[in-house]
Amino acid sequence: MKYKKSPLDSFLQQRISDNARELKNTLNETLQTEQDCLEQIRLSLNHCKKNIADIERQVKKCSLASLPVYEAKKAAFKDNLTIWNMLGHIQMASIEMKEYLKRLSVENIDEWEQRDVIKSAYTAIYETSKKLVDTTGNIIKFIQHYFPSYDYGTFAVAKKELTRFREQNTAELTRVRNGIDAHRDVEVSTQIDLIEGLHLAEAVQLIIDYGNIVNKLGNVTNPIIELGIKRLQACF
């Protein structure tokens, strides 16, 4: 294999090798905190699902007069499920990006392994960015319908930044994803060319840029949890 390495790739690899232990420790500390947050999100998701299931059982034996009340409660919990599910996607994406950085922050990493991490990261960014664009769109619809006076300007700006990032990088993400990862090009020579052409510096920059966008999105999404609570309070 004739891996293509730019001067920036070599410089970055040297910096990583010099600081590998410190980088790994820092990432591990952050990852533990984020995984704890993800567990709390899962508890909230399960809480919503349990209440939806309980209401569905009550609906089967309730009177026609009380049916609208139960349906309203069920819809409110489903809206909260949507909010928490989006937070879960954000947290998962953030964790994934840090895990990829950790796997790349290894002293004297094998060239093939390095590119294996890079192609996996590209596919993850392709998949998760699409999911986040869709789920953030659902949240905006929720706000516009139930809280039309709520100022979601910062959320809209973060969503726009995410959408712009995906649009600008979709071609390259798709090329890598379809050529050597989720799908495989029929021509092995094409796969080899793609693998050899992956650059560490470009990948690290892409992962960091996307991670920053995801974290920003998480920060502006947290206040929307309160809207979910208000939505429930209106039905109980």
| CA 28 to centroid of chain Cα atoms | 18
Q: Is 10 helix (H, G, I), strand (E, B) or coil?
A: helix
- Please give the average pLDDT of every successive group of 10 residues along the chain, which has 236 residues: 90 92 94 97 98 96 92 97 97 98 90 95 97 96 96 97 98 94 82 93 97 96 95 93
Domain parsing of the chain, residue ranges: 7-233
Q: In angstroms, rounded to a whole number, what is the distance separating the alpha carbons of residues 102 and 96? A: 10
Q: Is 63 helix (H, G, I), strand (E, B) or coil?
A: coil
Q: Does the CA dihedral 200-201-204-210 come out positive or negative? A: negative
Please tell me the pTM assigned to this model: 0.92
The pLDDT, as a whole number, for residue 65 is 92
| CA 50 to centroid of chain Cα atoms | 25
